[in-house]
């Protein structure tokens, strides 16, 4: 059986002009700022005018811990959005933008798959509407102004060794991780150790995604701590006077992008913060706008539910005043089998026992989600080759926990494959069953917040943090940052901090290696393991195969 590739399917799509997609949500052509014929930004004025309207229901799509088998979270988000529209509901989806850098490394593609995709796929994997370029510019303007301030006399007395604000590029470039800048003598400034992160790791990205409007954006940008004096007093972006110009650079980028699914349903694609050192969700502005315009809004969060859903609720929902009405946990039979100990090469063979052995990972996520007071339903994202017995084993397991697992075939069938899921999700959302609550209150001490997540979500016995880290947290509390939520950065492959520990481990320890204050974004990053903020290219980068073919079409990007 020969399958069409994602890009073949995407190119066969009957795209509608973006104005028709906007019209489905009541956005007139004058309120859409077009970027080509198939992409548009929704104007800030229009968004402002929606303020008084009733909100739709928010549905989060999350997943089990990712495995190399793939789970299809974005694909299911798109499929569910199409499914809701297919059963007559007014629904929109909200997903993240793709980073340009990784497209030239391993693979592109952050727009779903099969018959559950968002288009135009090529643009979304390249420059799209320029948001990430604007973030890169805003970030690097601040960087340039910091070194410029030091160059011209350093009135703020910034300690050259304590500048924590790096530069960014939307590129996988390991050579830029650690650099020394300002070499070459007097005209080039004072040499110092510096470095580059990839743009999605920029605090500016996290800020853009958490800001309600341009005034909020500027306030948060101003709060960024760029470094310290010799006496360790913080210096902010506002001290450098960069916040105004950065806001100007981000003015257009703050407006959410509207595109469409293969089935011509509206999709907001906006923002893309890292899911480790940031919260990994699309923008608050896009989500809130979608909620004003649609009755159901389907969105997703990065990585598995232990990281993505936890941050979605404890950071994004808390900060933006949002509350999900239903949560979908995506699982695949293949991933269950890998959690049950099967190697990737052997996934083709039926193995019911492995499914059963792997299910506790899913069970743990269901339990965790319920602890937020939100009803959860499992979507089994069907793969060619899943057997009926395997599917039944998974469904029985979920039922034994008092939940339900619905088989979905959106990859092969589009919205027809998710009608059952959509129907059930709409019922749950409409039922008012959800009693959303965050996991911890704002005023809980920072260390206790970390422990709460580690024990209640990761099921660890203890958090290991040395005195230096505990002192740092206390210092931030004294400086007035104690009410911030924590943003956990750990491996996405396990509930624990050991990526090889699949299933549903407990009794483990969570070692905290480092804590970082993102005073602009408004969270404290808790680093529990290696995190990479500037990726490298592989031995044979996919860029070598990316080119225009004779018909002018892009080859090799997907």
Kindly state the tokens that stand for 186: 């007097």
68 is in an annotated binding site: yes
In the annotation, is 165 catalytic? Answer: no
Task: Show the binding pattern over residues 117-136: x = contacts a copy of itself (CB under 8 A), - = does not.
Answer: ---------xx--x--xx-x
Smallest gap from residue 130 Cβ to a copy of itself (A)? 4
Residues 225-284 that bind a copy of itself (CB under 8 A): 241-245, 247-249, 251-252
- Determine if the peptide bond prior to 120 is cis (ω within 30°): yes
Contacts of 363 (CB under 8 A, 6+ apart): 397, 398, 401, 504
**Within 10 A of 108 (CB to CB), how many other CB atoms are there?**
25
Smallest gap from residue 185 Cβ to a copy of itself (A)? 8
In the annotation, is 354 catalytic? Answer: no
- CA distances in angstroms from 458 to 228, 279, 421, listed in the order given: 34, 17, 28
Cα(6)–Cα(413) distance, integer angstroms = 13
548 binds a copy of itself (CB under 8 A): yes
71 is in an annotated binding site: yes
Cα(164)–Cα(208) distance, integer angstroms = 20
User: Which of 156, 164, 531, 546 contacts a copy of itself by CB under 8 A?
Assistant: 546
Q: Which of 368, 303, 367, 290 is nearest to 330 (CA)?
A: 303
Catalytic-labelled residue, pool 107, 161, 174, 251? 107
Q: Between 144 and 389, name the residue whose CB sits nearer to a copy of itself.
A: 144
In the annotation, is 438 catalytic? Answer: no
In the annotation, is 372 catalytic? Answer: no
CA torsion, points 285, 289, 295, 298, in degrees to nearest 10? -30
Task: Show the binding pattern over residues 152-191: x = contacts a copy of itself (CB under 8 A), - = does not.
Answer: xx-------------x-xxxxxxxxxxxxxxxx--xxx--
Phi first, then psi, for residue 502 (nearest 5°) are -80, -170
Cα(367)–Cα(362) distance, integer angstroms = 9
Q: Between 239 and 419, name the residue whose CB sits nearer to a copy of itself.
A: 239
In the annotation, is 411 catalytic? Answer: yes
104 binds a copy of itself (CB under 8 A): yes
Q: Between 218 and 418, name the residue whose CB sits nearer to a copy of itself.
A: 218
Contacts of 202 (CB under 8 A, 6+ apart): 135, 136, 139, 168
72 is in an annotated binding site: yes
Cα(426)–Cα(423) distance, integer angstroms = 5
User: Which of 64, 110, 124, 145 contacts a copy of itself by CB under 8 A?
Assistant: 145
Cα(525)–Cα(407) distance, integer angstroms = 37
Smallest gap from residue 287 Cβ to a copy of itself (A)? 22
70 is in an annotated binding site: yes
44 binds a copy of itself (CB under 8 A): yes
Catalytic-labelled residue, pool 39, 41, 57, 96? 96
Smallest gap from residue 265 Cβ to a copy of itself (A)? 22
How does DSSP classify residue 281?
B
User: Which of 143, 276, 299, 351 contacts a copy of itself by CB under 8 A?
Assistant: 143
In the annotation, is 73 catalytic? Answer: yes
Cα(355)–Cα(315) distance, integer angstroms = 33
How does DSSP classify residue 301?
B
Catalytic-labelled residue, pool 73, 337, 459, 502? 73
Which residues are marked as active site?
73, 75, 96, 107, 275, 303, 383, 411
């Amino acid at each position: 059986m020969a399958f069409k590739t994602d890009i073949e399917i995407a190119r066969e799509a009957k795209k509608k002009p973006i104005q028709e997609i906007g019209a489905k949500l009541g956005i007139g052509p004058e309120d859409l700022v077009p970027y080509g014929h198939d992409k548009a930004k929704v104007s800030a004025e229009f968004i402002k005018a929606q303020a008084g309207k009733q909100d739709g229901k928010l549905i989060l799509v999350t997943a089990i811990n990712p495995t190399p088998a793939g789970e299809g979270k974005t694909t299911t988000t798109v499929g569910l959005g199409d499914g809701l529209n297919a059963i007559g509901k007014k629904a929109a989806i909200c997903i993240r933008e793709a980073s340009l850098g990784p497209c030239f490394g391993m693979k592109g593609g952050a727009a779903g798959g099969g018959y559950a995709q968002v288009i135009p796929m090529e643009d979304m994997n390249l420059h799209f509407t320029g948001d990430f370029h604007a973030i890169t510019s805003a970030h690097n303007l601040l960087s340039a102004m910091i070194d410029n301030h030091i160059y011209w006399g350093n009135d703020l007395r910034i300690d050259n060794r304590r500048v924590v604000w790096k530069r960014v590029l939307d590129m996988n470039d390991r050579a830029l991780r650690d650099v020394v800048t300002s070499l070459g003598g007097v005209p080039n400034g004072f040499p110092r150790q510096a470095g580059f992160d990839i743009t999605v790791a920029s605090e500016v990205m996290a800020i853009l995604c958490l800001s309600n409007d341009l005034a909020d954006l500027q306030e948060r940008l101003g709060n960024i701590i760029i470094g310290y004096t010799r006496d360790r007093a913080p210096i902010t972006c506002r001290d450098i006077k960069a916040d105004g110009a950065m806001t100007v650079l981000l003015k257009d980028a703050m407006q959410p992008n509207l595109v469409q699914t293969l089935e011509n349903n509206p999709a907001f694609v906006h923002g893309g913060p890292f899911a480790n050192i940031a919260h990994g969700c699309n923008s608050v502005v896009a989500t809130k706008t979608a909620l004003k315009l649609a009755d159901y809004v389907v969105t997703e969060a990065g990585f598995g539910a232990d990281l993505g859903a936890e941050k979605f609720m404890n950071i994004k929902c808390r900060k933006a005043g949002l509350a999900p009405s239903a949560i979908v946990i995506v699982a695949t039979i293949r991933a269950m089998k890998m959690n049950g100990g099967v190697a990737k090469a052997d996934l083709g063979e039926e193995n019911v026992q492995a499914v059963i052995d792997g299910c506790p990972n899913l069970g743990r996520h269901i339990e965790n989600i319920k602890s937020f007071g939100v009803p959860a339903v499992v979507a089994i994202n069907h793969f060619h080759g899943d057997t009926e017995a395997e599917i039944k084993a998974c469904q029985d397991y979920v039922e034994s926990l008092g939940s339900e697992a619905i088989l979905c075939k959106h990859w092969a069938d589009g919205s027809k494959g998710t009608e059952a899921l959509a129907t059930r999700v709409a019922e749950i959302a409409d039922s008012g069953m959800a009693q959303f609550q965050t996991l911890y209150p704002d005023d809980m001490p920072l260390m206790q917040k970390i422990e709460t997540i580690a024990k209640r979500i990761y099921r660890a016995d203890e958090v290991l943090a040395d005195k230096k880290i505990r002192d740092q947290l206390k210092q931030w509390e004294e400086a007035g940052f104690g009410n911030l939520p924590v943003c956990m950065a750990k491996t996405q492959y396990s509930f624990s901090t050991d990526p090889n520990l699949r299933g549903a481990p407990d009794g483990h320890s969570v070692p905290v290696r480092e804590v970082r204050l993102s005073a602009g974004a408004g969270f404290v990053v808790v680093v529990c393991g290696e995190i990479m903020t500037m990726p490298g290219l592989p031995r044979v980068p996919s860029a070598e195969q990316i080119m225009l073919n004779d018909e002018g079409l892009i080859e090799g990007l997907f």
